[in-house]
Structure formats: structure tokens, C-alpha cells
Amino acid sequence: MSSEVLSLSELKVCLPQDVYNHLASPYDTDSDDDVSRVEKILESMKISPADTCCRVNLLQATVDEVVNALKGHLSLMDNDHKYIVQKHDTIRDMVTIRATCSHDDLYKCNVPPNADPLDEFSCWTNRSKKGWPMSHRSIIVDRFCGEAVLRGAQIFVKGILCADGGIKEGEEVAVYAHLSANSTPVPRGLLLENYLGKCVFLGIGKSNCNRSEYFSQETGVGVTMTKLAGPTLPPLNGILVGKIMLQNLPSAVVVHALDPQKGDVILDLCSAPGGKTSHIASLVSNDGLVIACEKGKKKMVQTREFFKSMGASCIVPIATDSTKLLLVDGAQNRLSPRQIVDSAAADQDGLMKVRGFYPESFDRILLDPPCSALGLRPKLQIDIKSLDELLKHAEYQKRFVRCAVPLLKSGGTMTYSTCTINPSENEEMVKFILSDFPCMKLVPISEDIPGLPALSGFGMSDEECSMMRRFDPSDKNIDSMGFFIAKLQKM
């Protein structure tokens, strides 16, 4: 058994056949173009969208202030990248950043191209036979670290699995990601010459320490990426804290589709890590009541700290199972959400202990439930093992819907979103809502909000499909993640 070293262009992101067939089924199989739509989506998933989008927190900054600060920050960066920072055409609180140079050559190579051999490697012929570069010592990171690297992150020591012996602080190293599916785990600290797995070349970085410290330290950046096989995204961690939030474009437009108004009483059923909830607070200038629910207690405590850092004071965070939020007792004296949270006691973490809310309580509801995440980019591998596993997501999402619809006031709207391309969680879910809840109808999302219409073939009219937004990761016009948004009103 030997190691297999791929370039990103050679890597094939695969799906189980039944999942593939399911995702391909809505496309017109008579058309050559559509037959390969899923292939195109899988191909585009390997790298990040070219634009980094950042949403301006209007509670603590203006768009002009952020544009100027980002331009200043990026112009000081110590590398050869140039970035274009600009306001989004139609989304008023969105700023996009695009690198003007990319390293397409690295995308096609499985070793750093055109570099002189290191003297000590030229006498070691096995090295090139195994696929490792003669020009650089190499490190291999785990897959999740690799995907983060392709999103512009640096390499933390915890993500490094194995490395060549002898790497020194300041040395340029070749960086690979281990493709873990179906392979035996790689023990951390392994010498690269003993690695027998399959990996993909991600680019070149500069080591911040000697090899031994990769594996003896608990925290810290081990390698700073300098050239990436894919779009070169600016590292913005720790920049303009509280003033911006890095979000993919579709995630940021969801709340514009929700269109919250000052004074509204709004329920976010799945809040953590809080990107969309804090966006609501920003758009209503903290004027209103936003109930943020999240099942994970620890997650909610962290999310509450994030809300504080964003100055989002109109949000009441609650750790609860949102599928059980509907109260059916006390028909006579139904308290409003404001009365319920004002009279609730706090738990030992300071989160309000709320049992639930009464029917017809909310002006707007955001339902951004857990999903199969088959739209997230970049993805080096997909973990879903079978169609049964994929379809379970839709069943779970229906539980949130059954709770959300009664909680909505008549005339109120619910915005539903997922970060997947799976129609069972998107178009089919909307059809389910329309069929099982005749009180609900689709309403159009503002034309300023970009995206494609929903897929046809799920029992909805062309007009209804045009009211929804679908983001296709292989769409060349909007280079973004896979995403879906629908807005429904209770009659």
C-alpha cells in the first residue's frame, strides 16, 4: 500500500449512487447540460466562492466606515495579493472582497510547481516516486482543517496530522489535506515518509515553528498560508470585531427576505451561532423583541456572548428544543412573548427558563433548521452514506414547521432557509407546508435579492417557483454556496 497524492483538479467529490440519483432527479434528463448538473455542483464544491462577503453590523458601524477600514487593512498585508473591496450592488449592508490574483496553477498541481529541488531530497529517489515534492518539505492536515484553509484560514497546530522531519521555523512548506473517508485514522505526529493515505495538495505556507512544536503545543498557528490552490481569500479573523460578520451571500440575504420591521415580535427557532439573529437586530436597530432559540445550552451561552459583542440588545436567548415550543394550555389568559420573557426566571447560566409560547404570538418567524449542508463550500469529501440518511433531515425539519406555523400570527410571515441543494429539504418542504397547512401561502421575496427560482417539478406553479430563491454552487453568475430561501405568509 502506498500514499496517493492528488491535485484539487484531480479530486472527485463523490456521493453514494442513490443520493446522486436523488439529487439529479429534478433536472431534465433529456438535456445534456442538466444531466451533468450534479457533477458541476460537486466540481464547484471543492473550492470557496471567489468573493468574501462581510455583513456590516449597522448597530456599531456604517458601510462606508467598514469599506474604508477593510481597504486600509488589506493594503497593509505583507504579501503579493491585491483585493477589491466594494459595497454590494443591491444588499445595503453587504461588502464584498475579491482577490485580483489567484493561483490557478496550484489547483492543477499535486506538488508546488517550478521550484528547485532541495539538496537533501535529490538523493532520496523514493520521495518523488511516492508523489512528494523534491522542492519542499510537506505537512498533512486533517480534512476539516484543509477545508478551513481553503476558506482563507491559517493552520492551527491542532489540525496538523503529519509532517516531514526537519521542518524549521520560517521554512516554506507544501500543505496537503488528508482525505479521511474510508481510511484508517492517521496518528498525529506521524513522519510523512510513513503516511499511506490519500491526500490533496492545498498550497504553500510558511512554518511558524520547528516541526516538534506542531505536536508538542496545544494551540497557536503552526503554518501561515502564502499561496492557495483556489481563490485567495483574505484572512479577516479578529478584524473589525463587533462591526462586521463574515457570511456567505445567501446567509446574509435570508434576513433581508424576512424583512424585519421595527417593533416586530420575531422568533428565530434555530439561532446558533447567531449570524442571522444578530442581523435581525441590526436591521431593526434593536427596536423590537427577538426570541432566539437553540437546543444546545453551551452553544446558546456562546451565542449570547456573540450577541453582546454585536451590541444586539433586543435579543432574548433561550436554550430550548424548538420543536416543543408550542403551548396549548391556558387558552383564557394567553401571555404575550414579552410577558413570558419578562416573567421568566433565569437559569444558572443566566438564560431565561421559558416553557414555550402561545399560538398566534409572532409577527415573523425565521426557520433556518439543521440540514444536510450539501451546499457548503469548500467540501473535500461528503460524509452522507445513504439516501435514507439524507431523507431524515427533511423529517426532522417538518417537526419545526409543525411548531412554527401555529406560533405565527395571521398575516405574519415565516422565512425558511437551508444551506443544501437537496430538494427534499427545499422545494418539497415548501410543498409540504402548502399542502399540510392551507393557511400558508408563498409570498414573493424582494427583487433586490439575488438567486435563481426554485426547481420545478414539485407541484408548484412557475409563479410560485419564481417567488423562492435557490443558489446553485455551480452558477457562474453568483459564485456562492448552495442555499434555498422561501417566504410564506399565514392567511
Ligand X SMILES: C[S@@+](CC[C@H](N)C(=O)[O-])C[C@H]1O[C@@H](n2cnc3c(N)ncnc32)[C@H](O)[C@@H]1O
Asked if residue 319 belongs to a known ligand binding site, the reply is no
Q: Which residues of 75-101 are buried (b: 16+ CB within 10 A; e: fewer)?
A: eeeeeebebebebbeebebbbbbbbee
User: Does residue 229 belong to the site contacting ligand X (CB under 6 A)?
Assistant: no
List the alpha helices (DSSP H) in 123-224: 125-129, 143-150, 211-216
Comparing CB distances to ligand X, the nearer of 52 and 110 is 52
Provide the minimum distance between the beta carbon of 180 and ligand X in the complex, in angstroms, as a whole number: 23
DSSP string, 293-310: EES-HHHHHHHHHHHHHT
Asked if residue 294 belongs to a known ligand binding site, the reply is yes
User: Does residue 425 belong to the site contacting ligand X (CB under 6 A)?
Assistant: no
Q: Are 362 and 490 in contact (CB under 8 A)?
A: no
The Cα–Cα gap between 17 and 202 comes to 27
Task: Select the residue interacting with ligand X from 323, 415, 424, 480 (CB under 6 A).
Answer: 323
Comparing CB distances to ligand X, the nearer of 133 and 375 is 375
Count of CB atoms within 10 A of residue 3's CB? Answer: 18
Provide the minimum distance between the beta carbon of 213 and ligand X in the complex, in angstroms, as a whole number: 34
Name which of 415, 408, 418 is nearest 484 in CA terms: 418
Element (DSSP H or E) covering residue 75: helix 63-75
Q: Are 473 and 45 in contact (CB under 8 A)?
A: yes
Task: Select the residue interacting with ligand X from 51, 93, 264, 294 (CB under 6 A).
Answer: 294
User: Does residue 322 belong to the site contacting ligand X (CB under 6 A)?
Assistant: yes
Task: Select the residue interacting with ligand X from 293, 310, 374, 429 (CB under 6 A).
Answer: 293
Q: Are 467 and 489 in contact (CB under 8 A)?
A: no
User: Does residue 271 belong to the site contacting ligand X (CB under 6 A)?
Assistant: yes
Half-sphere exposure in the Cβ direction for 300 (13 Å, CA): 25
Stretch that binds ligand X, among 28-36, 205-213, 335-343, 364-372 (CB under 6 A): 364-372
Name which of 134, 140, 143 is nearest 111 in CA terms: 134
User: Does residue 485 belong to the site contacting ligand X (CB under 6 A)?
Assistant: no
The CB-nearest residue to ligand X is: 270
User: Does residue 398 belong to the site contacting ligand X (CB under 6 A)?
Assistant: no
Task: Select the residue interacting with ligand X from 40, 71, 188, 295 (CB under 6 A).
Answer: 295
User: Does residue 274 belong to the site contacting ligand X (CB under 6 A)?
Assistant: yes
- Describe the crossing of helices 387-407 and 427-436 by its angle, rounded to 10 degrees: 40
User: Does residue 420 belong to the site contacting ligand X (CB under 6 A)?
Assistant: no
Asked if residue 270 belongs to a known ligand binding site, the reply is yes
The Cα–Cα gap between 55 and 94 comes to 5
Task: Select the residue interacting with ligand X from 72, 113, 296, 459 (CB under 6 A).
Answer: 296
Stretch that binds ligand X, among 8-16, 319-327, 384-392, 402-410 (CB under 6 A): 319-327
User: Does residue 370 belong to the site contacting ligand X (CB under 6 A)?
Assistant: yes
Question: What type of residue is 345?
Answer: A
Comparing CB distances to ligand X, the nearer of 109 and 373 is 373
Provide the minimum distance between the beta carbon of 249 and ligand X in the complex, in angstroms, as a whole number: 13
Asked if residue 273 belongs to a known ligand binding site, the reply is yes
Half-sphere exposure in the Cβ direction for 478 (13 Å, CA): 19
The Cα–Cα gap between 419 and 427 comes to 13
Asked if residue 147 belongs to a known ligand binding site, the reply is no
Stretch that binds ligand X, among 46-54, 122-130, 270-278, 387-395 (CB under 6 A): 270-278
Q: Is 419 known to be catalytic?
A: yes
Q: Which triple of cell numbers denotes residue 336?
A: 404575550
User: Does residue 270 belong to the site contacting ligand X (CB under 6 A)?
Assistant: yes
Comparing CB distances to ligand X, the nearer of 57 and 323 is 323
Q: Write the interaction track for ligand X spanning residues 328-347; mark x where CB under 6 A is met and - where it is not.
A: --------------------
Asked if residue 153 belongs to a known ligand binding site, the reply is no
- Read off the DSSP letter of residue 241: T
**Could you say which of 54, 199, 209, 419 is catalytic?**
419
Comparing CB distances to ligand X, the nearer of 154 and 271 is 271
Asked if residue 105 belongs to a known ligand binding site, the reply is no
Provide the minimum distance between the beta carbon of 419 and ligand X in the complex, in angstroms, as a whole number: 7
User: Does residue 305 belong to the site contacting ligand X (CB under 6 A)?
Assistant: no
Count of CB atoms within 10 A of residue 155's CB? Answer: 25
The Cα–Cα gap between 177 and 175 comes to 7
Asked if residue 329 belongs to a known ligand binding site, the reply is yes
User: Does residue 223 belong to the site contacting ligand X (CB under 6 A)?
Assistant: no
Asked if residue 271 belongs to a known ligand binding site, the reply is yes
The Cα–Cα gap between 425 and 422 comes to 6
Residues that contact ligand X, how many (by CB under 6 A): 19
Residue with cell 438567486: 451
Provide the minimum distance between the beta carbon of 398 and ligand X in the complex, in angstroms, as a whole number: 12
Name which of 484, 485, 420, 474 is nearest 49 in CA terms: 474
* Planar angle of CA 181, 249, 284, nearest 5 degrees: 130
Name which of 44, 45, 49 is nearest 248 in CA terms: 49
Known catalytic residues are 419
Residue ranges for the known binding site for S-adenosyl-L-methionine are 270-276, 294, 329, 368
Which residues of this chain interact with ligand X, rule CB under 6 A? 251, 270-276, 293-296, 299, 321-323, 368-370
